[in-house]
Structure 1
Amino acid sequence: MDRTFTGRSVSLATVEAAIAKHDPTGKANTLNVRAYDNAIILSEGRGSTPIRIDLKTGDKIAAGTSLWSDFFTTNRRLHESLLLDLKWLVDASTVAMLISVGFGIFMGWPVMRNTLGGWHRMVAWGTLPLLILSPLTGLALAFGITFTGPPPKAEGASVKLTDAVKLVATKHDLASVYWIRPMGGAMRTRIYDGREAKVFTVSKDGLVAGQQSWPRAIHEGVWAGFWSALINVITSFAFIGLMLTGIWIWSRRTLRLRANRRARAAK
């Protein structure tokens, strides 16, 4: 989330001062920028204890302090694994969702009726491409399908984190950076330029853009700025509305059938 949304700018000098203060030995190799929290996160990679730094004061953020990034991270873990290492269950339910969408296609053409069932069908057919793309791209991410080739390789030794920060800052405001970290034998960064999020390889010669992973871009809604985010919101409301109205229609029909059976049995 960059300055387009936060209205904030993160300068190179501020980040360099924070890194120098909290990582004097230069062991950190991963930087996450959270402009909406006015904070950065330093770590030595997966499994290490991250250091959260307040960019206003330059001080370490206390462990018990809640940030927006904590809220977003928790929601992402809930979305991906239900917070309980149940990724397999999320994947299975996503497959079930696609199957239910497929069944829905064969349950009838949309009819313009001002009834709950009529609205259910119209919303389902009106947003059908979105209802298919959202879970389908989610499954692609879950199984590592990107439709891209291998990322560009950086010649020579991998760039250090401090040097990578400088190289990125020559082209982009650091508020636009999601992360800078080693990946696939090179230092890479993910940057949101106000329209789409892209991964770049950081080399001594500068930044080399990688191929766009369209499943990720579509699923995260970062391929067309505000409009792609709006499409994701519409998709979410469509899924919620269809689920609630579908349960209500099914429940009402089931209760009606039971009542009819009782009435016939009583005669």
Structure 2
Amino acid sequence: MSPLLRGLLKIHRWIAIVFSILFLLVIVSGMVLAFKPVVDAQTTERIAVPTLIKALNAADPAGKAGAVAIAGDASVFSLSGRGRGPSGNFDMQSGTKLSEAGFDLFSFTRRLHENLLIGADWLVTATTIAMVFLIVSGLFFGWRTLRNNATGWHLGLGWLSLPLLALTPVTGLLMAFHLGMPQLPDYTPASRPLPLAEAITIASQHADLSGLSLARNFRAGAVMLTTRTDSGNAQYIVSGSGEFRSMSGPGWVRSLHEGTWAGAWSGILTLISTFPLLGLMGTGLWTWWRRTQQRRARRPAVAGQAHA
């Protein structure tokens, strides 16, 4: 191996070690989120928009919540606070807050996956860049005869599963830099978004929101709404001044990353694509640990020969 490749291999190993915990958090949370299209495909419940608006006004009378997510069975919605806004799970009929037993696994996991629960979007982006770098740099080490050891498994898994392996990290990186994403419609910027209940009211006058799954604060004082339809997800924007705009959809990059392009089947494919990532992480760390132990074991022997 040339000196250049040896240097690249050293960088490859150290990046894998430094980011290992973050890799684990992002990969495992992604595995959980891959089940969401599978669960959604089994859910046919629709919401009554007037009922949701009434419940939202009861749960968030000051209009400070930053996002509302609708449960698959349309019986509960969860609010994420903006500043001092309310957060938690609320009854769809009355808007009363439910006990913590109503923990929303997908909502929690999405926040972990996107910002590690601490608003660290930049750190998740850095982790994704590191993951893509490891995949690309691994190609430079060449194909070797497969051997029945951790190094052989690591190399073989990286080459044989390459298309699946690259699916979620590459699309995640494209999303982070807004590449391949649908072009946003024009709307008038505002200093702050409308209350969620008001934005949903405006959107319901222009589109069918019976499949609404998420409404959240968006860029330039807008609210983005995502609804489930028979042909996939549809997205709309309500500006801070009340303008309604329809979007062309989530785009192929997001659909591939989230596994929503073919319902449950694409969700299963996204789930399968995370297994090679875990396998590479495990075999890579195991190989590094074994080599470290062997190197430490050789040091006393070398020292003994030097004194002999």
* TM-score bracket for the superposition, by shorter chain length: 0.7 to 0.9
For residue 250 of structure 1, what is the amino acid of its counterpart?
W
Structure 2 spans left out of the alignment, 5+ residues: 1-35, 189-193
The CA deviation at 1:208 is 3.8
Match of 1:11 in 2: 48
Q: Could you report, residue by residue, the CA deviation over 1:19-51 in whole angstroms, capped at 9, with x for unpaired residues?
A: 5765789998975322347213578x9445247
Match of 1:40 in 2: 77
**Greater displacement, 135-144 / 2-11:** 2-11
Residues 110/77 of structure 1: CA separation in 2 closer, same or farther (3 Å cut): farther
Match of 2:123 in 1: 89
Query: RMSD value over aligned CA atoms?
Result: 4.0
For residue 254 of structure 1, what is the amino acid of its counterpart?
T
For residue 255 of structure 1, what is the amino acid of its counterpart?
Q
Distance in 1 between residues matched to 2:176 and 2:111, nearest whole Å = 13
Match of 2:254 in 1: 216
Q: Indicate conservation of the 8 Å contact 2:41/2:264, yes or no.
A: no
Moved over 6 A (4+): 23-30, 180-183
Structure 1 spans left out of the alignment, 5+ residues: none
**Structure 2 residue 279 is matched with structure 1 residue 241:** yes
Distance in 2 between residues matched to 1:88 and 1:23, nearest whole Å = 30
Count of residues in correspondence between the two structures = 257
**Structure 2 residue 120 is matched with structure 1 residue 120:** no
**Structure 2 residue 201 is matched with structure 1 residue 162:** yes
Q: Could you report, residue by residue, the CA deviation over 1:78-125 in whole angstroms, capped at 9, with x for unpaired residues?
A: 223333343333322322222221221122316454443333223211
Residues 103/209 of structure 1: CA separation in 2 closer, same or farther (3 Å cut): closer
Residues 83/106 of structure 1: CA separation in 2 closer, same or farther (3 Å cut): same
The CA deviation at 1:243 is 0.6
TM-score between the two structures when normalised by the length of structure 2: 0.64
> Which of 133, 138, 143 is equivalent to 2:177?
143
Residues 116/28 of structure 1: CA separation in 2 closer, same or farther (3 Å cut): closer
Residues 152/196 of structure 1: CA separation in 2 closer, same or farther (3 Å cut): farther
The CA deviation at 1:255 is 2.3
Match of 2:27 in 1: none
**Structure 2 residue 238 is matched with structure 1 residue 199:** no
Q: Indicate conservation of the 8 Å contact 2:213/2:227, yes or no.
A: yes
The CA deviation at 1:248 is 0.9
For residue 214 of structure 1, what is the amino acid of its counterpart?
W
* RCO higher in structure (CA 8 A, sep ≥6): 2
Match of 2:97 in 1: 61
Q: Indicate conservation of the 8 Å contact 2:150/2:286, yes or no.
A: no
> Which structure: greater helix fraction?
2
Q: Indicate conservation of the 8 Å contact 2:48/2:210, yes or no.
A: yes
**Structure 2 residue 140 is matched with structure 1 residue 103:** no
The CA deviation at 1:201 is 4.9
TM-score between the two structures when normalised by the length of structure 1: 0.72
Give % identity. 33
